[in-house]
A and B are shown apart, each in its own frame.
Chain A
Amino acid sequence: MAIRFEDFFRVDRLPHVFCPGCGIGVVMNCFFRAFNESGMNLKDTVFTGGIGCSARLPMYINGDMLHTTHGRAIPFATGLKMANPKLNVVVFAGDGDIGAIGGNHLINGCRRNVDLTVICINNNTYGMTGGQMSTTTPHGYLSSTSPEGNPEYPFDLSKLAAAAGANYVARWTVRHVHELVRSMEKALQKKGFAFIEVVATCPTGFGRRNKMGDPTQQLEWLKSISVRKERIKDEEMDQMDLNMQGLISVGEFVDRDRPSLHEILGRKVGRDAP
């Protein structure tokens, strides 16, 4: 039976902390739909995140919630899932949380292939601290710590996750709500490490400084720069996502079934877990 909106979310915690036009609301809505479709139940699901706007999302979901330290949500989730494999564990993290301070945990998490669903809301900035450049701020874009434009080149988190060994990797923007819901369903069902990058709006921290202060402008921008990966020639792919100056690829990048760590370790693992 479908979970009602008011049972899924901790409505008693409203109002939420997110700014008008923030992409996190879209992710919450899509996740609610996907979770319902997946047939999972809240009692057996733990929602976790590190520090930052995106990591606050679990605070509004009515399951068990573990709000961890900055960057470390994946190892917290790894310990939790391996200690009690009966739990479903979902990580929500921002690009700062997972791409910078937690970058090592991300790649090792993908490699370790523990049965986790990791949803990275990439808004190209550190939103909660007021819009500093992050590891995914496009080259040349403005932020409060790159007043002359970002002199560095950004990470492509999806390609990083794919190369590091995740079982499922997809990237969408908050404009691709139907595709995102389907990917989330797949990720929730997938055994092993599933990673979804959602490129999201942050009008307050990122948009305003880059001539997209109106949320709809940033949504239009995301629409205009995203290209389905099927339409891109292989030789164009690397050039395309390296600097995110022009276009970004969206779609499912990896969908494989390497056995998860838990499956490999077999029945011994967590045999008598509570």
Chain B
Amino acid sequence: MPDPKPGIEFMQGNDACTEGALAAGLRFFAGYPITPSTEITERLAHRLPEKGGVFLQMEDELACISAIVGASWGGAKAMTTTSGPGFSLMQEGIGYAAMTETPIVIVDVMRGGPSTGQPTMATQADVMQVKWGSHGDYQVIALAPFSVQESYDLTVEAFNLSEKYRVPAILLSDAEIAHMRGRIMIPERIDLVERKELCSDGSGRAYDIPDALVPPFATFGHGHRSFVTGMTHSPEGNIAPEDEKTQEELVIRLNEKILKNQKDISRFEIINPDAKKFVITYGSSALAAKEIAIEDRSIGLLRLKTIWPLPEEQILDVAQRARSILVVEMNMGQLVREIQRLACSIGCRSVRFMSKLGGDAPRKGDILPTLARMEG
């Protein structure tokens, strides 16, 4: 299967994600079959070995996430894909990757839950799990595509951000986007970010330069005597599980390296910025909302591509100008609480919520009646 040529193609969301990963320099993939993400695994089983990379099917999702962390320390850009039940199993490894600052990409194609739920139907109910799923205080980067095009583009972004910030980056797709077929423009060239390698100064430190928020990466086999551990460690890599100061400094840095770079990580689309009624949404919930905003200039749309860290600046900006905000999500209300918190902090109390459950993305008819009742 050759690389898609630059220009217009027609493909499925999951295939676009696969091609995005390959274009971003994916070298190692470990997967476990699970609906609705399996197309990515199957396509990579062909495509990755062709391109000189490694494809492995592991025994479970715990092994998948572990294998890609190992591969990343071997110097490869690495990815796994899954859906809710597998994503739950991966939380252990996500926490480990956050603690060891390992660049990895995880594609979570969200399906209805809890538990086995709706394997072929969409949801957006993993939005808080992505943020809080593993134990301890940590940050990840999560991006939510809304089209076939973005399944490609945001996969590339996930790799770039993961490499830049040495952090797990999660593509939060869903069954709707994953199985949607549509037009995609394969770019002529894309800008790639590579992790910053630690200089071989013989100091043998995996965690160097304590005053930098993102330390350089000490790839195995390069003579660094890397010391990589999920235990509390000092910048030099010494374990110090009972040292209060080490724990505090480490956890603060792991969080600040993402939160202080919110602006750089935030990706969003805004339509009708001067509107007084605003919809804030993301992923497949934005499909109908975008149509509404295009047709009606009195309705604004803030569509989040970056979910975590939350693009607070843009949300505050909308809350400042709009009289009322409608948050649309395919869950019982997850991101809406964050948006309410932000809006309340500057006195905007009119934040409504529209929940769409069942597995299908909300349609215009689901959203319009609520919008009509809102203050504008």
Contact = CB atoms under 8 A, between A and B. Distances in A.
A265 B60 CA distance: 21
B6 interface: no
A87 B30 contact: no
B79 to A, nearest CB: 11
Interface string A245-274: 000000000000000000001001111111
B69 A76 contact: yes
B206 to A, nearest CB: 8
A13 B231 CA distance: 15
Interface in B51-90: 52, 54, 56, 58-60, 62-64, 66-76, 78
A108 B63 contact: yes
Q: Is the interface of B mostly helix, strand, loop or mixed?
A: mixed
A270 to B, nearest CB: 6
A81 B220 CA distance: 11
A83 B71 contact: yes
B229 A76 contact: no
Interface in B76-107: 76, 78, 92-93, 96
B147 to A, nearest CB: 31
A43 interface: yes
Given A65-B228, A68-B230, A76-B70, A83 B75 contact: yes
Nearest to B56: A82
Interface string A73-86: 00111111111101
A46 B220 contact: yes
Interface in A73-110: 75-84, 86-87, 104-105, 108
Given A69-B93, A72-B93, A268-B49, A108 B71 contact: no
Interface residues of A, number: 40
A10 B230 CA distance: 19
Contact of B28 (A43, A64, A75, A79): A79
Interface string B5-27: 00000000000000000000001
Interface string B149-160: 000000000000
A44 interface: yes
A273 B76 contact: yes
B223 interface: yes
A111 B328 CA distance: 47
Contacts of A72: 62-63, 66, 92-93
Contacts of A65: 225-229
Interface of A: 10, 13, 43-44, 46, 48, 59, 62-69, 71-72, 75-84, 86-87, 104-105, 108, 265, 268-274
